[in-house]
Structure 1
Amino acid sequence: MNQLLESEIIVDGEAGVSRGGRAARELRLNAGAGAILVGFANLTHFHVGVADLAGQLLSTRSRPSDFSAGPRDAFAFAQSSWESMLAELEIGREKVWGVGVGLPAHSNLETATLIDSPSLPTSWIGYPVRERLASIFDAPVWLDTSDNMLALAEMRTGVAKGQRDFIYLNADLAIGCGVVSDSRVMRGAQGAAGNIGHITVGGDELCRCGRRGCLEAVAGGEALLRAAGSAGRSGESAYFARLQEEGTPLQVGHLAEGVRYGDETSQRLVAMSGMTIGRALGATINVLNPAVIVAGGALPQLGDLFLASMRQSIYGHALPFVTRDLGIVVVQQTEGSGLVGAAQMVIDQIFLPRCLAKWISVGQPTSAVHRLGEASN
C-alpha cells in the first residue's frame, strides 16, 4: 500500500466520518495516473478507444469491420486511432498502462493470440497481437472474445452489477454468449467457452463453422436476413419484395418493422428465432444455473414477439426450479459497451496481487511484464 501511495496510484479521497477518534482516511484509485488502450470488434464494426484507470472512456473511434483485409490493416487503424486520441487528450505514450482487445474469436488470454474463429478469415489465426502492439506502446496486452468483453462490462458497470452468476447472450448477426460464474468470466480450457451459437438445434443449414444445424445458422441475424430476402424474391412476402425493389439493404431492424406491419414472414422468422434461441438457452441454463440472462444484440431488440417466444421456450426446456427466480433483462449495446469491458479486463489483470508485485517497483506496467498474462480474472 505504501508503494501505491508513494507512486500516487492510490490517493486520498474524502475523509470518513469521525466517531470520536481520528476520521478514517478514504483512499481511491488515481484514475488519471495512466491510460488504457482498448479495442472491440464484432461482425459490423471495429471500435477503439482510450480509457482511464477507472475504466471510463475518454475518447473513441469506429469504422466498419473489414476482416477480409487482414489483421495488419485492422491494427494499423487501431494504432493510428489510438495515437491520434492520445495526442488529442494530451496523454503521452509513456502513460499507457495496458492494451485490451475483444474480437469475435477464440483467444488465449495468456499469449494474446487468436486460436480459432468461424467468423474470421484464416489470416487472423495465430496473428501475434501482443508482439505487434507491445512493441509499439511498451505495455502489456490482453486479448479475449467479444462476448466476454460484453459480459464483463455488464458485470462491472451495467445491469448485472452485483450478480455473481449470469449469462450474457449476444444475439445479433452471429450468436454467442459470455458466461460469468462466481463473479468470474468463464473462458474454458481453450478459450472457447460461450459458443452457444454452435449448439446443434437441427436442420440442414450450413454454418460458417462448417457444420450443419447450428443455432447461429438457423436463428441468427444473418440466417433470418437470408430467409427474408428469399421470401421477398419468391413473392412470399410483399413487404420484403418492396424493400428489395427499392434497393434497401435488409437489416435485422426490418424484421421488427415487418412484425408491426403484419408481415407473416417477419412474424414467422422472429418467433422461430426466439423459440430456437430459447431452446438452446434452456439447456444451457440447466447446466450453469444462472440468476440472470442479459440479452444484448440486435435480435432482443426485435420486440415482444421475439422475447415472448424466447421466454416461453426457456421455461419449456429448463427445469422449473432452475428458472423459478430467473431474471431476463434486455440491454441495448452501444459502441462503448465492448470497450468498457476491454478496459475492465486490463484493470483486472494489472491489479491482481501477483501481477502488481511484478511492476510496482518500477511504477507502472510495461511490455517487460508480459507474464502478467498468466493471470485470469
Structure 2
Amino acid sequence: MGSILENFGQRTRQEDPVVHFYETFLAAYNAALRKSRGVYYTPEPVVSFIVRSVDAILKDRLDLPLGLADNAKDPVTQKPKVQILDPATGTGTFLYEVVKQIYRNLEEIGMANQWDSYVRDNLLNRLFGFELLMAPYAIAHLKLGLELQELGYKFKDKQRLGIYLTNTLDEAMKKSEILFGQFVAQEANEASMVKRDTPVMVVLGNPPYSGHSANKSKWIESLVQDYYYVDGLPLGERNSKWLQDDYVKFIRFGQWRVSETGYGVLAFVTNHGYLDNPTFRGMRQNLMQTFTDIYILDLHGNSKKKEVSPDGSPDQNVFDIQQAVSIGIFIKAPGKHTPAKVHHAELWGDSASKYESLNLLDINQ
C-alpha cells in the first residue's frame, strides 16, 4: 500500500486512491484497451471548474436559484428540470463532484440535515451516468454509494444509482436485443429510457478521445453528418476522418440531448482540435446554431506541436497525454435566439499553475 500511494496525486492531481489505483492497473493490465477506448481520467481541478461553472450557470442564467441542487419541476412535463447526465462516466469523478456541490448548496441554505430525504426524493431520480466498460462502472457505483452514505444517506431495499452499463453512442431502443443475460438487457433498457425519454438538462464530463473510433453506430454517425455541411453545402474536405473522433460524437450526442430537452447546458473537457481546424468549420457553425452562448477555455498543452507559452516559458498539459485539451461549456437558454455568442479564454504555463487557476476560477471569472 505504501508503494501504491507513494507520491500519490502529485502528477495528475487525482486525489481519489480508488481512481488512482484503477488508472495504474488499467495501464499495466490492458494498455491497448485504454488506448482504443480513450480512457484517461480527469484531474480534479478540471472537474471542479466544470461542475462549479455549471452550478453558476443554472443559478445566474437559467433561473434555478439552488443550481445543481434545485428540484423545481417543468410546468409541462412535471419532471425535475435539473436532470444531470455524464455520458462517459468512467469511475464517476464528475458525478462525485456534482454530489459534493449539491451538498454544499444545501448547506448554504441550512438544509444539509435533510440529506437523507433529499437524496431519496430529489437526487436519485435525476442523476444519471452511462459507462461502457465494466470495471469503471462497478467502481463508480461503489464510489458514489460510499459518498452518499458518508454524507448521511442510507440506501433502502432495491434502490440503486442511475449509472448504467451501456454504449452512449448507440441508438436508444425500447427493447434490448442483447442476449447475454437478464442483467445486461435490463441495464440497456433502463439506459434507453434515460437516453430517449428523460428531459436531461445538464450533460457534462470527459468523453473519450479516439481518432480511430470503435463506435460505428449508424445512429450517431447520422447525427454527426450535420457537421459535414457549411451554409447548407458539403465541406468538400478530402480527408474529414477527424469528424469521426469519439469526442466529436459525444459532443454531438450532448448537443442532441439538450436540443431534445429544449434548454440546458453541455459542459465537456475534450481534445481542442475542433476549435480552429478547418475540417471542423461545419461543426462550429452547427453548434453556434444550436446554442445561445458558448464558453471556451483553451487549456493548450500540445506536446505534439511543442507548444510554448506566449512569454516563451514551458506549456504543459493538464492531462498525462500529448493532445491539447479545452473546456467547452455550451448554453441553450429557453426562448433565446441563435447564433451563439462565443466567449474565449486561454490558460498557458505549467500544469501546476493551470490546476491552481482552475481551482480558483469558474465561468464568471
User: One fold, TM greater than 0.5?
Assistant: no
TM-score (norm 2): 0.26
Max radius of gyration: which structure? Answer: 1
Identify the structure with the greater strand proportion: 1
TM-score (norm 1): 0.26
